[in-house]
Amino acid sequence: MRILMFLPRHMRFGPSNASSIDLCVRDLVAASRYRDTTTVVCCENETLFSEVDVMTYSRAVDDSRRRKVAFAVDQVSRTSPDLIVVQQHLPTAAALASRTRVPVVLHKHNMIKAIPGRNLWSSIRRRFKLNQYRSLAGMIFVSDVCRKMFAEDWPEVRLPSAIVYNGLDFSQWRPAATKLDEIICVGRAAPEKGIKEAAEAIASVLKEQPGWRGRFILSEPGRFPAYLEEVLSAVRPLGDRISVEFSLPFAAVKERYQDAAIAIIPSKWQEPFGRTALEAHAAGCAVISSGTGGLSEIAPEHTLMLPPEFTFAHIAEHLRTLILDRDLRIRLAHSGHEHCAKKFALSEVAREADDFYDFAVDHRASGIAPPHPMKSQSSASASSRV
């Protein structure tokens, strides 16, 4: 099967600055049985992943949806793929579906906002979106919570769908045999990520535990400068006992994860999946998680979970538990790693994606049906419909 896979605008498909979507796509394609016949189409970047075939377009094309769609249509005409996969962006997927005869699958990496039909304008917008969905051959969601929310908010849509988690090649993860007495927190420097609460908790606990250190690896530091300053103010009194690093390449993040004993995933919003938590388990960390959204699907039985309305004090309490109970810390680290190595093995996750690609090509089915009063439970099979 010949597949063209289009990334959204402003992605960074390379080892120096990849986003979570870039990493997910790289992993899925690299492990796919269609690896040799798949081309990832994306904007030019300072580096590019070498594991997969990549076709790039210029920044000028990336800055314009119209130019990007025109480029995409031209490449479809030139290469005659059997399937188009569009990551994340419904307008691009719908535009390609309306301009070609090739089936198009939309792979969503976040929650999809509802559009209630409360007035004429919102009804028009909703109908427009429904027509876009109608053009697709299928949809992929990154978690069960994402698919369920879509089914609740868009009951009229009838499309084949599948849940394809982010996966990892666990053979490439090597947790340190002797972990550092270090607490790590990785994420965007944004209020919804709970970084400030983690900073306050780590600073509080380190005052009681002189042998321990903290580490933050933060991306997008310029987006919320006032918030970042609050984070830095919380850790500044601890001096060099808490390191703060910005926008590191994934290889460096991975290395630091593998050395750390404890990882905090304090997200306050409904995470679509929560790849950071999966990476922490792969690295052999004992994990503290908020469990919001898709985080609840990763390894809840092998994680210390925070309450829904958590504060820094809740994080600090879990930190004290893990620091003082070495056996529990090691047990959670090992069991979380083993659980995730089975559930999120890249070979299995890629196979599930490939199976859905086969289904979409062989049984193209799409459409819009009237809303029904009883919303059926969605299953995890590739042939299920939302």
Q: What is the CATH number of the domain that holds 247?
A: 3.40.50.2000
pLDDT value for 369: 47
Q: What is the pLDDT of residue 376?
A: 34
User: Do residues 182 and 322 share a domain?
Assistant: yes
Is there a single domain that holds both residue 258 and residue 275?
A: yes
Residues 339, 356: one domain? no
Mean pLDDT value of segment 119-127 = 91
- Residue 82: pLDDT band by 50, 70, 90 thresholds? very high
**pLDDT, position 386:** 64
Mean pLDDT, residues 33-50: 97
Residue 276 lies in a domain: yes
201 and 161 in a single domain? The answer is no
Q: What confidence tens digit (pLDDT) does each residue in 317-370 have?
A: 999 999 999 999 999 999 999 999 999 999 999 999 999 999 999 987 444 444
Pick the more confident residue, 142 or 117: 142
- Which pLDDT band, with edges at 50, 70 and 90, does 305 fall under? very high
> What is the pLDDT averaged over residues 245-260?
97
Instruction: Look at the chain and report how many structural domains it folds into.
Output: 2
Residue 372, pLDDT > 60, answer no
| Residue 370 located in a structural domain | no
Residue-level pLDDT at 84: 97
- Note whether 312 and 356 are same-domain residues: no
**Can you tell me the distance from the alpha carbon of 296 to that of 377, in angstroms, rounded to the nearest whole number?**
18
> Domain containing 96: what range?
3-167+350-362
* Confidence (pTM): 0.91
Q: What is the mean pLDDT of residues 286-303?
A: 97
Q: Is 375 within a domain?
A: no
* 232 in the same domain as 144: no
59-80: average pLDDT = 94
Task: Give residue 115's pLDDT band: very low, low, confident or very high (50, 70, 90).
Answer: confident
Q: What is the CATH number of the domain that holds 152?
A: 3.40.50.11930
pLDDT tens for 157-206 read 989 999 999 999 999 999 999 999 999 999 999 999 999 999 999 999 99
More confident residue, 272 or 372: 272
Percent of the chain surpassing pLDDT 70:
94
Give a yes or no: residue 372 inside a domain.
no
In a domain, 337, yes or no: yes
In a domain, 160, yes or no: yes
373: in domain: no
pLDDT score, position 118 = 80
Burial class (CB in 10 A: 0-12, 13-18, 19+), 44: middle
- Average pLDDT over the chain, rounded to whole? 93
* 66 plus 118 within the same structural domain: yes
